[in-house]
Amino acid sequence: MDMLILNKNELIDNIKSLFKDYEIVGPSQLDGKLYFRPVKSMDEVVWDFVNPVNNIKDFFFPPSQVLYELRQDRIKAFEPDTKKKRIILFARSCDTRALNLLDKLFIGNYKDTSYTARRETTTIIGLSCLEPADRCFCISLGGGPFATKGMDVSISPVRKDKFLLHILTDKGKDIIAEQGTRPEREELSLTEALKQKAEEAIKRKINIPSDFFEKFDSDYWKGVSQACIKCGICTYLCPACHCFDIIDEGYFRIRCWDTCSSDTFTKMAAGEDHRKQKYKKYRQRIYHKFQYYKENFGEIACVGCGRCTTYCPVKMDIVEIVNNS
């Protein structure tokens, strides 16, 4: 693991040099909200933020993707456009950890070709969190504001205009030019102090009870799910949620995002639906994240970013609901 110090201008110049060979995706403003989206210059990139509305899974597992076109006489498969390599700039550790979680599914026993292709051609530059939001609870799930899991290069602040870069993978090595200085002990301790401060700022903790699985049949779920309106915001904005539907639109077979909260998620032929009631749907979501994914893949499918609570139309608080179960 290589470490080097760059000042802000050197860092900006380094990233600017990447614009000609890579497609750069970074946090930028649009209509008053912050999104991860392709940017044309460093002027569009925002440095001071908590987390954009969307997360980086959009660029590996897009909301809607054509698989193939099927006509009477031919079938045409659509490959993801990976000719131009891509860099995701300033991803937070929660989002990058979530990507590793998704890898377990999409590049597990069966390799999803488009996801794998996009993964291989994308480099992730992460940015440590200096000022986590009230809604964040990454630490109680094994993450942290200065964590580096899932990043190819991690950028941590030393001071206002100085940054400490960790180059964590070969892909990261390819994009960072040979400049900068070796970190001094004083600089490392400055970063460490900022890390401590950020970690202390995260007060929210999620506490999954040890007898969580036994609570399945409890009436608790009926009570807590009453406010839910069964939209898809929590699932679509969650960096770890990954359920999809395969639909036919005319000649095209399309894979698109789906949400377990929707009425059609468990609808089967002849109108059968085993998970019709809202509390069952909500219970399923919680259990999938905090129990089943752990049983199947070894990790809890939640990274503590808090988007689900912030953007929920009725502000359902997942931490409160799990802690009180």
Contact positions vs another protein (CB under 8 A): 30-33, 35, 53, 63-64, 66, 78, 134-135, 204, 222-223, 226-227, 229-233, 236-237, 245, 247, 249-250, 252, 254, 256-257, 259, 262-264, 277-278, 309, 311, 313-317, 319-320, 323
Are 140 and 300 spatial neighbours (Cβ–Cβ below 8 Å)? no
* SS3 of residue 258 by DSSP: coil
Judged by beta carbon, residue 195 or residue 307, the one nearer another protein is 307
Please state, in angstroms and rounded to a whole number, the distance separating the CA atoms of residues 285 and 300: 12
* DSSP 8-state assignment for residue 288: I
Please state, in angstroms and rounded to a whole number, the distance separating the CA atoms of residues 115 and 123: 14
Judged by beta carbon, residue 140 or residue 262, the one nearer another protein is 262
What is the bridge-based pairing of β-strands 252-257 and 64-70?
Answer: antiparallel
Q: Which two tokens stand for residue 318?
A: 């997942």
Judged by beta carbon, residue 19 or residue 311, the one nearer another protein is 311
Judged by beta carbon, residue 170 or residue 272, the one nearer another protein is 272
Amino acid at 36: F
Q: How far is the CB of 105 from another protein (least distance, A)?
A: 21
Q: What one-character-per-residue DSSP string does 89-146 give?
A: EEE-HHHHHHHHHHHHHHBSSSB-HHHHHHHHTEEEEEE--SS--TT---GGGT--TT
Q: How far is the CB of 315 from another protein (least distance, A)?
A: 4
Q: How far is the CB of 178 from another protein (least distance, A)?
A: 39
Q: How far is the CB of 274 from another protein (least distance, A)?
A: 15
Amino acid at 204: R
Judged by beta carbon, residue 175 or residue 238, the one nearer another protein is 238
Judged by beta carbon, residue 3 or residue 66, the one nearer another protein is 66
In 3D space, the residue among 37, 35, 34, 43 whose CA is nearest the CA of residue 15 turns out to be: 43
| Beta carbons within 8 Å of 251's beta carbon, 6+ residues apart | 69, 70, 71
Judged by beta carbon, residue 16 or residue 76, the one nearer another protein is 76
Q: How far is the CB of 272 from another protein (least distance, A)?
A: 15
Are 136 and 305 spatial neighbours (Cβ–Cβ below 8 Å)? yes
Please state, in angstroms and rounded to a whole number, the distance separating the CA atoms of residues 315 and 309: 5
Q: How far is the CB of 208 from another protein (least distance, A)?
A: 15
Amino acid at 28: S
Judged by beta carbon, residue 186 or residue 219, the one nearer another protein is 219
Q: How far is the CB of 296 from another protein (least distance, A)?
A: 26
Q: How far is the CB of 160 from another protein (least distance, A)?
A: 26
